[in-house]
Amino acid sequence: MNELVQIFEEEHADLCHTHFDGYDIPVVKAAKIFQRKRGGLIQIVWHLHNELWYQKNILKKIYQLYYFWWHYFYYAQNVSIISVSSMVLRFVHKYKHLYKHEVVIPNGVDIIRLQIERKYSNKVPSGLFTFLAFGGRNIQKRIDLLLEAGILLNKKRRGHFKIILTEGTDTRDIVSLFFKGKNPEWLKLVKQRDNIVELFEESSCFVSTSTAETFSYAIAEASIWGLPVIQSDIEGTLWNAGNPSSYLFKSLDVGDLVSKMEYVMDLDSVKLKEACAITQRNNLKDYTIDVWSDKIIRFYQIIN
């Protein structure tokens, strides 16, 4: 905290914007010390990125209620809030109905890293329709649902498809539980990488089986690059649901997921490409870093 105060003093800070909730409370404490020394007011902005929820265990929930009260009420008396989704903002409103200033600003995608001038062709080197998914903590990403869907789809399509799956926190463990070290030919497990375009170029469709998201970079990047997206019908990804190349399945319903996978596989490739182009234009208009930064600057102007 003393280091934060020193930074405020060296930079003659008027505003501090936290992007990690672990800094929220220390920044408020440091700002109070700084303000007592300098006088005046330093504006504090908390940026809410993470999903917030209550644990099922009653003792853990009691602790959360205590901690969240301190965080989102006691230390938030003169705090402004940016939330990546209305869902997160509604959660913290349980503790404080209205913050000093508040706004919902979805995240922005770096289109330079997407190399979107490299056109989506719906064709992959293997000749197989290829689904791409990003692994992560299975409790949230629910890769097990996609693996179940792959098993069922293989019975119907007999290997005329492929699933590329990047390794996340426990992805390899989940795959091992399903296949005991003998992965099927239709499944390709790969390392995570910064150059996601390499994966997009191998793929025909992106799949998100998550049960919890605030703003999905993966969906935004895949759709802006030009892939159709199959996604669970959860609130955190509904911002993409109205696009013509977005296909929703009922969350946790493997049968519905399989039906959407088959549906997209059977779509006319020309019409699918046209739908993806419309989605790409829509999301480029709303979810790029340039759009995001303009909204952030306007918010700074309001609170100052």
pLDDT digits (tens, 9 = 90+) for 185-227: 999 999 998 889 999 999 999 999 999 899 999 999 999 999 9
Share of the chain above pLDDT 90, in %: 81
Q: How far is residue 34's CA from residue 7's CA, in Å, rounded to a whole number? A: 10
pLDDT digits (tens, 9 = 90+) for 23-38: 999 999 999 999 988 8
- For residue 3, the SS3 value is helix
Q: How far is residue 95's CA from residue 294's CA, in Å, rounded to a whole number? A: 29
Q: How many CA atoms, within 13 angstroms, populate the side-chain half-sphere of residue 55?
A: 12
Written as one letter, the residue type at 182 is K
pLDDT digits (tens, 9 = 90+) for 145-173: 999 999 999 999 988 999 999 998 899 99
In the predicted structure, residue 120 carries a pLDDT above the cut 80: no
What tokens appear for 289 in the block? 């870093």
Please state, in angstroms and as integers, the Cα–Cα distance from residue 275 to each residue in 16, 133, 151, 240, 245, following that order. 42, 20, 28, 13, 5
Average pLDDT over residues 270-279: 95
Pick the closest to residue 224 from 124, 118, 109, 132 (CA basis). Answer: 109
In 10 A of CB 165, how many CB atoms? 24
Which residues, in sequence order, are bridge partners of residue 232?
Answer: 249
Q: Looking at per-residue confidence, does 68 or 124 come out higher?
A: 68
Structure confidence at residue 121 as a pLDDT band (50, 70, 90) = low
In 10 A of CB 85, how many CB atoms? 23
Which residues, in sequence order, are bridge partners of residue 188?
Answer: 164
Q: Of the ranges 37-51, 113-127, 160-174, which one carries the lowest mean pLDDT score?
A: 113-127
- Angle in degrees, 0-180, between the axes of helices 24-38 and 58-72, rounded to the nearest 10: 30
Residue length of the chain: 304
